[in-house]
Structure 1
């Protein structure tokens, strides 16, 4: 069951539902009763993307159609834009990036909701990182509040490769951002980070699966989130250490703030270890802002809403600070500050 299959066949019974263990908190079948018509090609102006000024090359995909662009550069910075300019229609797109052995590439990926909304989007990505190569992927997701978006990235690492990822999202009506990493061990390294900032009735599901298949692999993961109003955040992180993948070093952390009685966070961190001589750990915390810190801020004349934003900004700032590309890190920090400025 998948959104891609449902779009291909037009059959909503092919959608994943709460009966599927990995989708139990992001039920699509219970939400979508009929598959919308295909999104038309859009020929108007979609404006500039959030990362355009940083890029050496760009690809713009609007409503599933490649609007403009060029092949991904072998090195440097690629701005990859997925723009949904639609009204109650559906579209999908696939895109592949290969980083040659020894090369370094940064992919600055954005999801931009435009038009009237209510769109249904499925994005499939394939990243192949060659031996000794480096790929940093920064993903900024700004869907409209009534959108449904699923993005699935398949990442294949060669020995000695490095893959660093940071996903930042403000959610949608339903949203799932999934990353699956095939990790060879062999001194390859993966970092998978995320930030979700959700208000209203927005929903975001950050799901990751890393499968270590060989000796001497490293995975580091840190996700932080904030939910308020009636929003719902979902974190599912699974690290699999296969038989023979000895000396794997894998760390996973998920930490969330709930700022409303009606908001919800569902978390499922997993370590599945089938090898000896490994160093693996995971942590998960869900709670409220420190009341003492809030009281101290208010005593210094800071309004409560501003104090909450300041404390939340400091909380998620640890994830943003791990972004290596300086320009992208600054844009991510500004995006977080802007989102928190509107959170209540």
Structure 2
């Protein structure tokens, strides 16, 4: 079952659903009974400016599945590239992006998902290869429409000595899934995979990640934080696999969420699968409410309750935002977070 296959064949039975373990909290088959007609082409020259347009060296657009963005960096090259994935209307479409970094290259990928108020179904596949000694920082800002269904699926292949850092920031959609799977070769390669989800109304997001450590001396560090209110639903599924022989792996995962209303929901499934002995691995997961003592302290000093809640929530997710290395992207992420929290 796959979203791309369903769009290609226009067969809703191909969509993943709750009987598929990996999709049980993001049931597309139960939601979509008939595939929408193919999306109409978009004229990308009429698009408004994107959030990263002013801080990237060049820009590529995938509009309603049209276009074939390919980002290739030569050995030792350094570049920042904006990738805008745009969905408009009420059709269905799938697109593909290829990213390739040669040895020693450094790329900042500034990726956005932008949707209007149409009830579209969009799927984007990304194939990413990072050669020895290369570095990729991927910042994803997902701003899909409230009625849209959007699925992004990235497959990342690392070489020894490479590094991959990712930060996903999202406000959700009717259904939204942001999936990243990393093949980790060990050999002192490094992975950081972070995320922030800020959900309101009836929006839904599913952040699914998997990192497979295949050999010795690899590190993974993951931190995801979320805030849900109203009738929103956040899903986090994170898996780290340490294969047999991948000794001296250092892998850590943390997921922490605030639930700010009685009807909001968070489903979390952090997993470690360890088949090697000499490793250092840990995971943590918490779901709760704002610290009432901290809220009381702020209000005692004259801060209005709404401002106090926003300030505490911003500080809660700010730990993730501060881990973004690229200065311009970090500033955009901080502004996006403040705006979503009403600051």
Q: CA-atom RMSD, angstroms?
A: 1.3
Match of residue 96 from structure 1: 98
Cα deviation for residue 309 of structure 1 reads 0.9
Alpha-carbon distance in 2 for matches of 1:277, 1:236: 25
Alpha-carbon distance in 1 for matches of 2:261, 2:156: 36
- Does 42-51 or 221-230 show the bigger shift? 42-51
Do the aligned residues in 2 keep the contact of 1:174 with 1:202 (CA within 8 Å)? yes
Match of residue 240 from structure 1: 241
The alignment covers a number of residue pairs equal to: 339
Q: Which runs of 4+ in 1 moved over 3 A?
A: 69-74
Q: TM-score, normalised by structure 2?
A: 0.97
Cα deviation for residue 299 of structure 1 reads 2.2
Cα deviation for residue 226 of structure 1 reads 0.2
- Does 329-338 or 301-310 show the bigger shift? 301-310
Do the aligned residues in 2 keep the contact of 1:229 with 1:262 (CA within 8 Å)? yes
Residue 80 (1) aligns with residue 83 (2): yes
Alpha-carbon distance in 2 for matches of 1:42, 1:137: 25
Alignment of 1:1-344 (within 5 A): 1-43=1-43, 45-66=46-67, 71-74=71-74, 75-86=78-89, 88-114=90-116, 116-341=117-342
Unaligned runs of 5+ in 1: none
What SS does the corresponding residue of 1:178 show, helix, strand or coil?
A: strand
Alpha-carbon distance in 2 for matches of 1:30, 1:6: 14
CA spacing shift, 1:40–1:91, aligned 2, 3 Å: same
Do the aligned residues in 2 keep the contact of 1:58 with 1:70 (CA within 8 Å)? no
| 1:14-39 deviation per Cα after TM superposition (whole angstroms, max 9, x unaligned) | 11111111111101001000000010
Do the aligned residues in 2 keep the contact of 1:57 with 1:72 (CA within 8 Å)? no
Cα deviation for residue 45 of structure 1 reads 1.0
Cα deviation for residue 66 of structure 1 reads 2.3
Alpha-carbon distance in 1 for matches of 2:223, 2:256: 8
Alpha-carbon distance in 1 for matches of 2:82, 2:61: 8
Do the aligned residues in 2 keep the contact of 1:57 with 1:70 (CA within 8 Å)? no
Do the aligned residues in 1 keep the contact of 2:73 with 2:102 (CA within 8 Å)? no
What SS does the corresponding residue of 1:295 show, helix, strand or coil?
A: helix
Alpha-carbon distance in 1 for matches of 2:31, 2:304: 38
Cα deviation for residue 302 of structure 1 reads 2.0
